[in-house]
Structure 1
């Protein structure tokens, strides 16, 4: 009870666990006075370990530290570790001692690698590194594969490819920014795992050229499913990503293991419309019904676009901005991004595009009188409602863009009436 009361007063009165100003004496037969010091200054001054616990280890170091400071802090840490083993397991005193040990180790790390004044922006190998302010400890350095301790270490993130590293590791970086590769080479490798063999790589990592082998000596060779090449453990962390070649040829979306550079490249390329399915694999439309549906919706949207560009109400309502995340949908109907294909496979794109298609059609056919006035009347049967080129039951003349009922257009064996009329006007003599 005496310890519990003292511990409660200690927690209420001190935010710093290393401040000893109001801590009462601890029983000598229970714990060591080095880690739970008393108010008696004579006893504290005789203890060789008081440097580590008497100082405020949350404060930033002032000036330079000599080697003796680090050695004394190491002795304090070792004594703290021995005390943890002697205290009862899961006891409050053991938990408090573990907390103190953590802070002592952080302080030791800070003395070994003090945070210097670093610039907020650094440029290296086309990377644009920005100094991070986050104190999260869940990040990992892409260079040394060690945890980034944000509380005591400076770290940077590339604004282009999101490469993370310690400040001390920046001068060791040999990998250029993947963003530059995306800018200069915006195309995928469309062969499925194009392996060349470890012997062709001279049994070295394809990126850092360190020795590797399939036996794991001196380092394990890990294959990237995107490039087909082998990498070491520092360049290949067994990350998984969807491989475009497997999607286009096999309609397969199972993530495969890829190296770090391929992972970043695929992440930056995932929204770029660089896949022309009609050229790469036109037979895919025969086996994937969702692709046919999406292609028809995109063709209809392209037919609706001229209505919006000449409609004041549509421009004020900014209807076309509903497709701002997929700008290529209002430019062509044959280019796809990898994200488009992923969303098609999950059904997400079909739902969202159908909803947008409905909003566009409603504006043209019901809400806007100007757009309604740009409709067509079937000149073959001259019956029925006003027709629009994106209606499902219509056909459009490829020459003059006139719109007819589909049945009327295919049953008529003569030429398009509008084309004939326009041709006749061209041959009419000019009236003097």
Structure 2
């Protein structure tokens, strides 16, 4: 497949939503997308927010036709570390049938597939595209609640995920939720000389190590926060029967590790898709420069992400975590817990009528039936759209597990883009047919 020139233009815009210096670039990506949808006959509105705009667009072809709401996001993760990219992250490059750029898979490339499939589609289409997904969608959820009637649709279609393996069309029916915290420990009022004050001064780095050690059991891998597992339900055996065979050795090779640590007593796929987790994502404190500096820092901190499963609630889990951290925090330190963002878990019927139609479209295009999977990541708006709009959701991932999301050398296999467009077009045809309504 030859890469469409507009997709290269889209990927070249450095729409990094977490970087204040890129605020105008994020807006530029939203405007670029608005112009493309207008060229396809959509009525558009770029809704301003305190951070980045939300783009709404609609094209209604027939009041009797089904209506599909397509969700995606035009913001991307920071490209750092830049030195690990083989080619510049915002200079899209094609190598061996793969498109390399920040946003190629998450989510500009997959969103662009829906723009290509929209041309001539025999269904009513609505697009809801945000510029804040990578920072937790703080303004999208209120927008959805305030515009439920305008967003009303027969189904929601989203491509912001991955197939389980190459040449393996995949329908995702579950996502984990997210609770993300920042924890700060304050000791003395200033940094202190470790010779003059060592032995009497509180050391926040040491205290942080003690806290980390008390969050998970070293032997079983279980999270030690009281009440953390209270609402976690086991996965029914009939549901596990839908899952593909796990390839543990291939996963080890991909990650470059010899073991796959995790919660004791559960398979790799259960730990990836259907069990909650807790992971430190960053730890800081003290001197980080070249050479030595004998200092006891005044402050240290860490960032924690907890992936959640039905029926865990992000706010409730945040409260449990904060209470436990305060309980086990050693004396002599001031503890601050910041709730950065979160998202609810999502689970839907893998055999709903829209999922069956998409399964048929995928089989026709790929020549093989799709597999069904949950996914370990989080898309905060999915559960909200399902709840507010009371509409079924179809999650069609066009990426692959090795797409390097959020990492250097992010890529999208062009064969997946080509077949994804064909499958979406065929899905619209099946949906518009009298038997599909």
Larger radius of gyration: 1
- Measured against the shorter chain, the TM-score band is under 0.3
Which is helix-richer, 1 or 2? 1
Give the number of the structure whose residues are more often strand, by fraction: 2
* TM-score calculated relative to the size of structure 1: 0.20
Higher relative CO (Cα under 8 Å, sequence separation at least 6) belongs to 2
